[in-house]
Chains A and B, each alone.
Chain A
Amino acid sequence: MTAITWQRRRATASRFWADFRSHRSALAGLGILLFFGLVAVFASVLADPAGLDVTKATAPAHAAPSADYWLGTDQNGRSVLTLLIHGTRVSLIVGLAATAIAIVIGTIVGIMAGFYGGWARSTLMGFTDWFLVIPFLPLAIVMATVLGASLLNIVIVIGVTSWPGTARLVCAQTLSVRERPYMERARALGGGDWHQMTRHILPNVMPLVLAHVVLTVSVAILSETTLSFLGLGDPTRPSWGYILDNAYGTGAMSNGEWWFVLPPGLCVVLVVLAFTLVGRALEVVLNPRLREGS
């Protein structure tokens, strides 16, 4: 790479950041994400993982918040705060990994459909439309039941059920990129299909996909919470949905145990909201046509 290329990239990056920074809500979202990211990374430092073990719990069950247990305890006498901290890790991992699967499938299907066009496009997009029609939650529930409860399976289920949106977006974008003059130049110079798709279309489609990725993560985290709440999560890896499932199952609401019900939900809302705010801002920054009121 020449120095000029790098200079240009640095300029683009700083312009991008300046644009992004003008969205105050997006910055707030970024801050929230940074906080939860740090909690996830340092979960074992913040709270001893031994606190997740039911057999080692010494505190009374369903205890109210106290100096020792800031957010009280669950039905087994485990600290809710410990569960919450380690749940952050599970929720974020599932959200990110599932999104990665969805994006890979969606991008491959979308680029192939848009690049080859003709019957390849009608077949692939027809298939995508079918998947869009299948109601997401029932499909995820059925798949999770069929595959069995484990962290990996939850990731697969959410990833495999959330790619159609990405595929449509990438296909539409590929169709517009395909007609641009530099594609003709690449073909004239003898670039093969693979070269054209990976070196020319992919880099031009990626920015829009990026915004979509961030929004997909928020949906994936909500889905993980829902599936865990229905008891389809991995019981050995407590997530926020798992805490809510336990709270519901042991009657925390009728006993007024707010510390058991409120915090996990608040965490979900904060993280999902943060991803949504960042994603929306990215969309506007990367696609100026979406900007309102010009």
Chain B
Amino acid sequence: MRGYVLKKVGWSIGTLLFVVVFNFFLFRLLPGDPIGLYTRGRNMSPEQLIRLRQQLNRPIGEQFVEYLANPFASAINSTRFNRPVWEIIGERVWPTVLLVGTAVLVAAVAGVWLGIRSGWRRGSRFDRITTGTTNTLYAMPEFWVGMMLIMWLPFFPSGGINSVGVSGFFATAVDTAWHMVLPVTALAIVYLAEYTSIMRASLVDELRQDYLTLARAKGLREDLVRRRHAVPNALLPTMTLIFLNLGFVIGGAITVEYVFSWPGLGLLTAEALRGPDIPLLQAVFLLFSLGVIVFTLLADLLYAVLDPRVSTQ
């Protein structure tokens, strides 16, 4: 177990280094004048510009070492908001966590339920309809689903997180929930397809196992065979995959947040594109990659806890 944890943590640190290095060099590949891109639309004195230019004219190795020392402390402000990038990002994290967390929760519960029902009666009418529907939902771009929802359900708010003039904790919470209905639905519809097919596939994998035959031979009711034996085992890979997906899900919220003007990291990314606001984009990209690495590590560790066989292999 200890060796397994060390191996996984070591791999995560290696990946983190790669992402930081990649992040550094990717933005050094920019065509054109980097000073022009970094300072577009801002008033800067000539001395400041010269200092900035000197900074960027130093040997690339020196710049890299400096960047490695603290990638989270960007000396240069966001060009769009004219504030330190990490300060802006800090404000935007919670709306995204709220939106994505709710959508994943709704989609996971519904997806697991649908997956169990269709996987257990494989080939039935219900299974065929569910599989066809999930295939179709899977093919839909999230933002298009969002646009259709806005168009056809106009009584729900189409953007933002709160209406103007709402105050008080309780009223704000209700108002936020009201604003969340459409974006959560749009995200959940697409994730639902993914989770249903994962759960269905894991359950189908379990169907041929000997322990199910044994459970039936003991005389257990079909219902109990499913609930007590098949589903817990099938849930194992599903839980890990849902967890593993969490890191990517945050990146996937970009277009939905953009469509619904949801003030989270996704909308921030879309805003950083207009310009483009390079320092902000760089920081957001680093954060998204970091999210995936952390959730991958957590999923690996969770799996080892849930299924001890993994760590002893």
Contact A218 B150 (CB under 8 A): no
**Cα A254 to Cα B11 with chains together (Å):** 48
Which residues of chain B are near A261, meaning CB under 8 Å?
A: 144, 147-148, 151
Q: Does A256 contact B (CB under 8 A)?
A: yes
Contacts of B250 in A (CB 8 A): 135
Are A276 and B18 closer than 8 Å at their CB atoms?
no
Measured between C-beta atoms, what is the minimum distance from A42 to chain B in Å?
A: 24
- Is A148 interfacial (CB 8 A cutoff)? yes
B32's closest neighbor in chain A, by CB?
A: A148
Q: Does A273 touch B at the CB level, under 8 Å? A: yes
- A-side interface residues, number (CB < 8 Å): 48
Enumerate B10-33 residues with CB–CB distance to A below 8 Å.
11, 14-15, 18-19, 22, 26-27, 29-31
B59 smallest CB distance to A (angstroms): 22
B residues in contact with A225, CB < 8 Å:
141
**Is B38 interfacial (CB 8 A cutoff)?**
no
Structural contact, B122 and A292, CB atoms closer than 8 A: yes
Instruction: Give CA–CA (A133, B288) in the complex, Å.
Output: 10
Binary contact track A6-43/B, C-beta < 8 Å → 1, others 0:
00000000000000000001000000000000000000
Q: Hey, which chain A residues are within 8 Å of B251, CB to CB?
A: 135-138
Verify A258–B151 contact, CB threshold 8 A. Answer: yes
User: Does A229 interact with chain B (Cβ within 8 Å)?
Assistant: yes
Q: Are A265 and B148 in contact (CB under 8 A)?
A: yes
A232 and B252 CA atoms in complex are apart in Å by 16
* With known contacts A225-B141, A273-B136, A273-B139, A232–B273 Cβ distance under 8 A: yes
Interface residues of A in 93-149 (CB under 8 A from B): 126, 129-130, 133-139, 141-143, 145-148
Given the known interface contacts A133-B292, A292-B122, A293-B122, the answer about A269 and B140 at a Cβ–Cβ threshold of 8 Å is yes
Chain B CB within 8 A of A231 CB: yes
- Minimal beta-carbon separation of A172 from chain B (angstroms): 17
**A248 interface residue (CB < 8 Å to B):** yes
Check: A222 CB closer than 8 A to any chain B CB.
Answer: yes
Min Cβ gap B154→A in Å is 7
Contacts of B135 in A (CB 8 A): 273, 276-277
- Looking at the complex, which one of B15, B143, B282 makes contact with A244 (CB distance below 8 Å)? B143
Whether A133 lies near B141 (C-beta < 8 A) is: no
Cα distance, A218 to B138, chains bound together (Å): 11
Residue of B nearest to A271 (CB): B139
* Minimum Cβ distance to chain B for residue A222 (Å): 6
| Contact between chains at A253 and B158 (CB < 8 Å) | yes
Q: Are B15 and A145 in contact (CB under 8 A)?
A: no
Q: Does B270 contact A (CB under 8 A)?
A: yes
Residues from chain B with a CB closer than 8 A to the CB of A135 are: 247-248, 250-251, 288-289, 291-292
Chain A residues contacting B276 (CB-CB under 8 Å) are: 145
A230 to B271, CA, bound (A): 10
Contacts of A252 in B (CB 8 A): 151
List the A residue with the shortest CB-CB distance to B27.
Answer: A146
Name the residue on B nearest A139 (C-beta). Answer: B285
Interface core residue of A133, A136, A147, A244 (most chain B CB under 10 Å): A133
Q: Which of A259-280 contact B (CB under 8 A)?
A: 261-262, 264-265, 268-270, 272-273, 276-277
- CB contacts (< 8 Å) of B136 on chain A: these are 269, 273
Report yes or no: A253 in contact with B139, Cβ–Cβ below 8 A: no
B269–A138 touching, CB < 8 Å: yes
**Are B19 and A141 interface neighbours, CB within 8 A?**
no
Residues in A whose Cβ lies below 8 Å from that of B30? 146
A265 and B26: CB pair below 8 A? no
A277 to B132 Cα, complex, angstroms: 10
Q: Which of B68-76, B94-102, B226-234, B253-261 lies at the binding interface?
A: B253-261
B188 CB–A CB distance under 8 Å: no
* B189 at interface, CB cutoff 8 A: no
* Bound-complex Cα distance A129 to B281 (A): 23
Q: Hey, which chain A residues are within 8 Å of B138, CB to CB?
A: 276
Least CB distance from A252 to B in Å reads: 8
- What string of 1s and 0s marks CB contacts (under 8 Å) between A219-251 and chain B? 000100110011110000000010010011000
- Chain B nearest CB, measured from A164 CB (Å): 13
B293 within 8 A of A: yes
- Give chain A residues whose Cβ lies under 8 Å from the Cβ of B292: 133-135
List the B side residues contacting A253 at CB < 8 Å. Answer: 147, 150-151, 158
Q: Which residues of A contact B14 (CB under 8 A)?
A: 126
CB-CB under 8 A for A268 and B141, given A248-B259, A293-B122: yes
B41 interfacial contact with A, CB 8 Å: no
Q: How far is the CB of B62 from chain A (nearest CB, A)?
A: 23
Partner of B285, one of A25, A142, A293: A142
Q: Are A222 and B122 in contact (CB under 8 A)?
A: no
CA distance A294 to B284 in the complex (A): 48
Question: Which residues of chain B come closer than 8 Å to A146, judged between CB atoms?
Answer: 26-27, 29-31
Residue of A at shortest CB range from B295?
A133
Minimal beta-carbon separation of B14 from chain A (angstroms): 8
Judged by a CB distance under 8 angstroms, whether B204 is at the interface is yes
Q: Is the CB of B144 within 8 A of A130?
A: no
Taking CB atoms and an 8 Å cut-off, the chain B residues in 41-64 that contact chain A are none
Nearest to A261 among chain B residues (CB) is B147
Find the B residue at minimum CB distance from A280: B135
Question: 8 closest A-B pairs (Cβ-Cβ)?
Answer: A135-B251, A272-B139, A265-B144, A273-B139, A253-B151, A253-B150, A138-B288, A130-B18
**Other A-B pairs beyond A138-B251, A230-B258, 13, CB < 8 Å:** A133-B292, A139-B285, A141-B254, A142-B282, A226-B141, A229-B255, A244-B144, A254-B151, A254-B154, A254-B158, A261-B148, A261-B151, A270-B139
